[in-house]
Structure 1
Amino acid sequence: MAAVRDGQGSEGAATVVVRGESGAAADQPVLTSGAALSILRLTGGQLLLYAVLLILLIVTFIPIVYLVALSLKDNGQIYGRFWSMPDPYRWENFALGSLAIWRAVLNSILTSGTSTAATVLLASLSGYVFARHRFPGKELIYTGILALLMIPPILTLIPAYVLILNMGLENTYWALILPWTSGGQVFALLLCRSFFATLPEEFFDAARIDGASELQSFAQIAVPLSAPILVTVAVVRLVTTYNQFMWPLVVISSPKKQVVAVALTQFTSEIGVTDLGPQMAGYILASIPLIVLFSFGMRHYVRGLTAGGLKA
């Protein structure tokens, strides 16, 4: 019995007919997929590239898999059978983890969300002005603002803390919201100004002819067209502020107002130093808001990075 290649199928797939010794077709034609033929045509370099990518993928996901596995174990399983899967599953670890960090997660969502909304609003307004208007010293002022990106944030830690003390804002949500809002303006301004500069001038000329004010042009033309870059700014600021550790540790002393990054480091003092299962569960629960954020905002985030955000 032999396999004879007769020709191409309707979608470019090779048609293989299995024939018996007499030459008659013994079975129905078998269509081999185009994907399988593409694999056969891969060069050695491409196979090596795919092998490296597969290894990197495995290395990336192994810690995540074992984080989930550790979150479902007790101490005996962790120290005795570290590389094994949980048996039995300790689902109560997630209950203990949620009790320890739920307030901190809400605090992080509140402070990060408020500061991000303020950052997007102020940066979009200032970016619109720098992109669409001319005034004396514009480029000098803009260059001076961008120069602030060269200053390491750690250098401003003590002056910012003294300022918060003098304003009487220590151990309040405003001690997080205000510095995070101001600290995010420079990079957000860079993205917004660059994107607004790429918008066609004809849209704004038509709006002025129709009698639209400057604020109406901004709200009804610039903002809708710039949704991808605004989402990008929001995602960057939300991730940055949600993961902040040093500044909340300095200015917030009340456990009821603490954010999740600091609460996770203090987690073991509440449940016992060696009880790692609930601690790992707390890490997973704390990451859920960011996972949800990227699930809904990734498409706009990528569009914002690639649709002219840094052209001007």
Structure 2
Amino acid sequence: MNKLTYRSGIKHVVLAALGLLTFIPFIMLVLISFKDAKQFATHRWVLTFPLHLENYTEAWHQIQRFILNSFIISGVTVVGVIIVSCLAAYPLARMRFFLKEQIYFLIISLLMIPSVLTLVPLFGIVIKLHILNNWLGLWGPYIAGGQVFCIFVLRSFFASLSEEMFEAARMDGAGEAKVLLSIVVPLSKPIIGTLAMLNILSTWNEYVWPIMVMNSIKLQPIPVGLLYFTQKQTDYGSLFAGYAIASVPLVLLFAFASKQFVEGLSSGSVKM
């Protein structure tokens, strides 16, 4: 028993050390964000006084437009992906129609295509639709590309729901749209929340596609905005303050939605 306790203690110490290592970059990010140029040059890795809070004020004025752009881009994308995915996954899971299984396998086969291979064809489509330098050039490909995995997950979850609930609803006169909105969607909130968070992460951190599609810096999301800010800013304190501000929305998202995220992962549809 003592040997088992000793081994368990060693494992906990190792895990705690590894966990601490993951926080070191964030700690250094915050420390450097409060330094001026002289403090950064002489005492880069330790806390120094006075703390320069003006770094955050300057950084906020530079990147606030890009953060707002990211909220708009990610928000519209997530809403579009969830709506289209639910509307597509429900008939694939609960209805019968010609070539249903073949259509489903064609959809999920798109998961095997690396997204980088679709950049050139998508860019050609965006040019033909004349939506360059327009948020439609981001929303369309994001929604189209994000719904494949969501359909795969939601279809499996919808198919696992008890058939008795659907039969009772239909006997009461509910149509398919009513069943979807009143039964399926409420029962699927953890899964939908998990998929929404995953889509927010993917669109919020997207870097390559906005550079290809958007010419105006005023319409760019925060990853491209930080690159633009880096090229303009020579003060590392303000630069790291901008990085810290840009990370706050995702940190808050996980802080307030982590419980629902874990519930979605453990609900049986998503295995990670």
TM-score range, shorter chain: over 0.9
Query: Map of 1:151-162 to 2, 5 A cutoff?
Result: 151-162=113-124
Q: In the alignment, does 2:260 pair up with 1:300?
A: yes
Whole-Å separation in 2 of the counterparts to 1:191 and 1:284: 33
Whole-Å separation in 2 of the counterparts to 1:74 and 1:288: 22
Task: Give 1:278 deviation, angstroms.
Answer: 0.8
The answer to whether the 8 A contact 1:70-1:86 is kept is: no
Query: Map of 1:268-307 to 2, 5 A cutoff?
Result: 268-272=230-234, 275-307=235-267
- Residue among 216, 220, 236 paired with 1:254: 216
Whole-Å separation in 2 of the counterparts to 1:278 and 1:112: 26
The aligned residue for residue 93 of structure 1 is 55
Task: Give 1:61 deviation, angstroms.
Answer: 1.0
The answer to whether the 8 A contact 2:56-2:241 is kept is: yes
Q: How many residues align?
A: 271
Whole-Å separation in 2 of the counterparts to 1:265 and 1:244: 13
Task: Give 1:310 deviation, angstroms.
Answer: 4.3
The answer to whether the 8 A contact 1:194-1:308 is kept is: no
Q: Once structures 1 and 2 are overlaid, which stretch shifts more, 134-143 or 85-94?
A: 134-143
Q: In the alignment, does 2:205 pair up with 1:243?
A: yes
Whole-Å separation in 1 of the counterparts to 2:33 and 2:189: 38
Whole-Å separation in 1 of the counterparts to 2:256 and 2:91: 30
Task: Give 1:120 deviation, angstroms.
Answer: 0.3
The aligned residue for residue 162 of structure 2 is 200
Task: Give 1:149 deviation, angstroms.
Answer: 0.7
The answer to whether the 8 A contact 2:264-2:270 is kept is: no
Q: Helix, strand or coil: the match of 1:43? A: helix
Return the TM-score normalized by structure 1: 0.84
Unaligned runs of 5+ in 1: 1-37
Whole-Å separation in 2 of the counterparts to 1:57 and 1:75: 31
Taking only the aligned residue pairs, the percentage that are identical comes to: 40
The answer to whether the 8 A contact 2:63-2:222 is kept is: yes
Q: In the alignment, does 2:128 pair up with 1:172?
A: no
Task: Give 1:300 deviation, angstroms.
Answer: 1.1
- Residue among 22, 33, 36 paired with 1:60: 22
**What CA RMSD, in Å, does the superposition of the two structures yield over aligned residues?**
1.5
Task: Give 1:240 deviation, angstroms.
Answer: 0.6
Q: In the alignment, does 2:94 pair up with 1:132?
A: yes
The aligned residue for residue 115 of structure 1 is 77
2:41 is aligned with what amino acid?
A: Y
User: Quick check: which one's strand share is greater?
Assistant: 1
Whole-Å separation in 1 of the counterparts to 2:230 and 2:161: 52
2:261 is aligned with what amino acid?
A: Y
Runs of 4 or more, structure 1, over 6 Å off, are: none
Task: Give 1:304 deviation, angstroms.
Answer: 1.0
Unaligned runs of 5+ in 2: none
The answer to whether the 8 A contact 2:86-2:154 is kept is: yes
Q: In the alignment, does 2:150 pair up with 1:217?
A: no
Query: Map of 1:225-236 to 2, 5 A cutoff?
Result: 225-236=187-198
Q: RCO greater where, 1 or 2, for CA within 8 Å and sep 6 or more?
A: 2
